[in-house]
Amino acid sequence: MLKQICAAAATCFVALPALAQTCTFTAECYEAETCQDTSFALTAELDDAKLITDFGDLTVVGVKRVAPLTTVFATGEGAEYLLSRNGDTARFTAHSNDGPTAITYLGTCEGEF
């Protein structure tokens, strides 16, 4: 009996896979200028509190979930970032500390947090 209890307890502590999602953006909008085609992607790894991008990792400082919208707040050198997801639709904005200026990316995300 004790052996069965120990085995059951051990399975309760098995690590679950990290939840991540990949977002792909196809439009880039700089300030009030006309949006342009782009190819930009990021991976959101909330278990590790980071957004992984081609230009470096960003530190996640907060997550707000109000169904169906999930918003991720992140920081990095020289800017603050906001990732919003509603279903598969996503928006990622970079708010530069030099300016202020903002760049908005429009796209989609796959996977779950």
| DSSP for the chain, written as a single string | -HHHHHHHHHHHTPPPPPPEEEEEEEEEEETTSPPEEEEEEEEEEGGGTEEEETTEEEEEEEEEEETTEEEEEEEETTEEEEEEEETTEEEEEEEETTTTEEEEEEEEEEE--
Q: Quick check: 52 pLDDT over 50?
A: yes
Return the CATH number of the domain spanning residue range 19-111: 2.40.128
Q: Quick check: 6 pLDDT over 90?
A: no
pTM, rounded to two decimals: 0.79
Higher pLDDT, 100 or 102: 102
pLDDT, position 95: 95
pLDDT, position 19: 63
Question: What is the pLDDT confidence band of residue 90, given thresholds at 50, 70 and 90?
Answer: very high
Query: What are the extents of the domains in the chain?
Result: 19-111
